[in-house]
Amino acid sequence: METVLITGATGFLGAKVTALFLAEGCRAVVLVRRNSAGERLKPFANHPRLVKIFLGEDDLKECFFKYKISAIIHTATCYGRNDEPWHEIAGVNLLLPLQLLLAGEQAGVQCFINADTFFNDKMSFASHEHFYVKTKKDFLAIVRDAAPQIKIKFFNLRIEQMYGPGDSAKKFIPAIIKELLSNAKNIELTNGDQKRDFIFVDDVARAFVQVFKSYPVLENYQEFGIGHGRSVSIKEAVAYLKGITKSGSALAFGRLNYRGNEIMDSRADLSANEKINWRAVINWRDGLQKTVDFFSA
């Protein structure tokens, strides 16, 4: 039986990833905080192959040897949206994965699979969001530079505009859906010409499993684009959401300015994905309908 260590298992993506690895017959060792909300883990809280270890309490190095961990699946992310201090954002996005990489290397872990963002640190964000992007990218830059010396195979998953049922109401798609469902009088937006590669969370979770299944034949450092490889404008996606919610809200396009250095067209690079036998299967319209259904319930 293979054992994987998963960070961020109480989060939107991490819970989906945890469920899939359990379904594959793996033991999932999940790294959580004692006070973290565990609602998303409740469906399999008593699963015989789910093991919780507590950040700051359990000895990480000992856990790697005790459970004979084969892979580290790093989905934990701190966005700073809940006013977390700078050191907590840096701890989750930079220090924790470096600590795991070192401990895993010492314990003979075979691979590290990292959840990365399509955003870049040239864009203008609120201060906490900029720090989130920067710390994520700084971790990746360190690994790239040190790749010839690192003894663990490292795989970076550059995830495009992820969405789906159960996501945080502070994210773009859920926030728009909630406003539409409440028939907010005016929803202020940019012109909406920027394009995004909308990718459903279930498809993203499958990518982690496919990389894990494929790692023995993959090279030591590789990146994979997680998306459809094609993009849709924000204007088209929001207009579609208005239609399926039958909302009376007015879409006030052009009321907001674009962020500085806005990415006007982001889509996944699929060139390496045949190596992991993965492609997205849920189209954006079906995915948005599933998401609306969830928030309408």
Q: What's the CATH fold of domain 1-159?
A: Rossmann fold (3.40.50)
Q: What's the rounded mean pLDDT across residues 256-285?
A: 96
For 60-110, give the secondary structure using H, E and C.
HHHHHHHCCCCEEEECCCCCCCCCCCHHHHHHHHHHHHHHHHHHHHHHCCC
CB within 8 Å of 140: residues ≥ 6 apart:
114, 116, 156
Structure-model confidence comparison of residues 159 and 129, the more confident one = 159
In one-letter notation, the amino acid at residue 294 is F
The count of other CB atoms within 10 Å of the CB of residue 134 is: 17
Res 124 pLDDT > 70: no
In one-letter notation, the amino acid at residue 147 is A
Domains of the chain, residue spans:
1-159
State the DSSP H helix or E strand holding residue 23, giving kind and residue range, or none if neither: helix 12-23
Give tens-digit pLDDT for 196-224: 999 999 999 999 999 999 999 999 999 99
Give tens-digit pLDDT for 280-295: 999 999 999 999 999 9
Nearest to 201 by CA among 8, 64, 30, 62: 8
Give tens-digit pLDDT for 221-252: 999 999 999 999 999 999 999 999 999 999 99
Q: How confident is the model at residue 32 (pLDDT cuts 50, 70, 90)?
A: confident
For 205-274, give the secondary structure using H, E and C.
HHHHHHHHHHHHHCCCEEEEEECCCCCEEHHHHHHHHHHHHCCCCEEECCCCCCCCCCCCECCCCCCCHH
Q: What's the rounded mean pLDDT across residues 16-37?
A: 91
State the DSSP H helix or E strand holding residue 155, giving kind and residue range, or none if neither: strand 153-159
Statement: the pTM of the whole predicted model exceeds 0.85: yes
CB within 8 Å of 236: residues ≥ 6 apart:
192
